[in-house]
């Protein structure tokens, strides 16, 4: 089923209201296996709205329109669909009576313009709105199913969940078009998008159901696996098989699924192994500590962090030998190693991790350009240091550095040798 979402309201076009309805409706439709091919936003203009409606009903099997169902003159959605579909509006007397009773219960005067909300295109089914006065409308027209829902998000959400989706799901099952569309995200770190796609080429070239979509993120890659099936169990089985093939190919580069962040994956490894960690940060300004402590329960493995931005604090707080700074500079392998060992010693943690670098945009030289970062991990067996060259603006460099630090720590925990 080819679906189009049509959201109505000049406030959406002007950016005064964020169009969250389209995103939520798309996610709901995915749950029942209806593919969204188009999303259209149109203002409260009669001519442009009619053009958008005519286009939508011509190119889609399902059109869901949100907004423009109120009692005022600029609420034109039901009237426009009725005209385009040649389905004259008829009053739903039951809803008209409910409206009068609602207003009476609240002690509010009832004006006749509210009766516009009781008008339904001929052949349509009125979907009662328990949270507002504008009902939804479900209309099966030759060649297209039309659903009209009110614009307020809480009203739209309730109508879609309780009354629209069950109807659509039954229709999809009846037509054997697939009642569920389920996705899973595999998160990959340490392998760039192009390399990951190259490694997965045999799998990607034969994809059909499930489909696999690479999504490039900052310092990591996501692969969205989407399966269509008549039953959820079958969709999950298809996804699990494809996910395992990807894991077999990419190995430990796959660090998690769905909403599992890198810091959460690292935290789970630390907790599983009963180890603690502390941080010494310079160029990242505490970002690694911030990410680690964003995970609930991180107090079980995170001892604390030191933000040693100045050379003097590196010496006084971490015990870095000032000779190292004088000889090699604060941004160096030697200083990074001393910082990691120093924070481990100062905090009593099992593992110390440190970062020192040039975040930019100034401060770089030919020998030590902007983005140059040294990251070190220290434990009882010694110290491991890696050199990185990041790119982007200051915030991007800091984020990439924090990502690399967490990935180095993750690899260290996966490999007792720390290599």
Q: What is the dihedral of CA 16, 17, 18, 21, to 10 degrees?
A: -160
**Which tens digits make up the pLDDT trace of 27-59?**
999 888 888 999 999 999 999 999 999 999 999
CATH number of 182-257: 3.30.70.2860
Backbone phi, then psi, for 121, in 5-degree steps? -60, 140
381-402 burial, b at 16+ Cβ within 10 Å, e below that, comes to eebbbbebebeeebebbbbbbb
CATH number of 274-414: 3.90.950.20
Domain extent listing, the chain = 2-174, 182-257, 274-414
Which positions of the chain have pLDDT values less than 50?
A: 417-419
Count CA atoms within 13 Å of residue 312 on its CB side. 0
**Which tens digits make up the pLDDT trace of 173-232?**
666 555 677 889 999 999 999 999 999 999 999 888 899 999 989 999 999 998 888 788
> 4: helix, coil or strand?
strand
Task: Supply the pLDDT for residue 232.
Answer: 85
Task: Supply the pLDDT for residue 178.
Answer: 53
Cβ–Cβ < 8 Å for 302, 266:
no
Task: Supply the pLDDT for residue 416.
Answer: 59
Cβ–Cβ < 8 Å for 151, 66:
yes
CATH number of 2-174: 3.40.980.10
> HEC profile for 173-218?
HHCCCCCEEEEEEEEECCCCHHHHHHHCHHHHHCCCCCEEEEEEEC
The CA distance from 344 to 143, in Å, is 69
Q: Where are the alpha helices (DSSP H) in 32-121?
A: 46-59, 77-84, 93-105
């Amino acid at each position: 089923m080819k679906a189009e979402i049509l959201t109505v309201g000049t406030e959406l076009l002007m950016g005064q209201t964020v169009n969250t309805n389209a995103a939520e409706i798309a996610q709901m439709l995915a749950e029942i296996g209806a593919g969204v091919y188009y999303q259209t936003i149109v203002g409260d203009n009669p001519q442009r709205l009619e053009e958008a409606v005519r286009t939508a009903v011509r190119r889609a099997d399902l059109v869901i329109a949100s907004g423009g169902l109120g009692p005022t003159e600029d609420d034109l959605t039901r009237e426009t669909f009725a005209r385009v579909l040649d389905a004259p509006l008829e009053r739903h007397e039951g809803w008209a009576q409910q409206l009068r009773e609602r207003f009476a219960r609240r002690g509010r005067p009832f004006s006749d313009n509210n009766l516009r909300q009781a008008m339904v295109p001929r052949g349509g089914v009125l979907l009662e709105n328990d949270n507002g006065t504008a009902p939804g409308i479900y209309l099966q027209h030759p060649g297209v199913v039309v659903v009209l829902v009110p614009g307020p998000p809480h009203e739209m959400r309730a109508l879609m969940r309780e009354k629209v989706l069950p109807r659509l799901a039954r229709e999809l099952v009846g037509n054997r078009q697939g009642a569920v569309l389920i996705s899973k995200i595999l998160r990959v770190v340490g392998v760039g998008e192009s390399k990951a796609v190259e490694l997965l080429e045999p799998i990607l070239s034969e994809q059909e159901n499930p489909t696999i979509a690479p999504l490039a993120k900052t310092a990591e890659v996501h692969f969205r696996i989407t399966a269509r099936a008549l039953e959820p169990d079958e969709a999950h089985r298809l996804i699990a098989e494809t996910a395992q093939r990807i894991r077999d190919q990419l190995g430990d580069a796959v660090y998690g699924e769905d909403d599992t962040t890198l810091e959460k994956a690292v935290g789970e490894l630390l907790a599983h192994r009963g180890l603690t960690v502390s941080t010494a940060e310079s160029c990242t300004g505490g970002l690694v500590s911030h990410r680690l402590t964003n995970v609930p329960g991180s107090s079980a493995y995170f001892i604390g962090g030191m933000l040693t931005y100045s050379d003097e604090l590196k010496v006084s707080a971490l015990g870095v030998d000032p000779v190292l700074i004088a000889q090699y500079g604060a941004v160096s392998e030697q200083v990074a190693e001393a910082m990691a060992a120093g924070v481990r010693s100062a905090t009593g943690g099992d593992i110390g991790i440190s970062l020192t670098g040039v975040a930019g945009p100034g401060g770089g030289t030919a020998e030590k350009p902007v983005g140059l970062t040294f990251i070190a991990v220290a434990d009882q067996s010694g110290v491991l240091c890696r050199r990185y060259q990041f790119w982007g603006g200051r915030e991007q460099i800091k984020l990439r550095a924090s990502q690399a630090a967490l990935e180095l720590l993750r690899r260290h925990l996966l490999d007792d040798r720390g290599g």
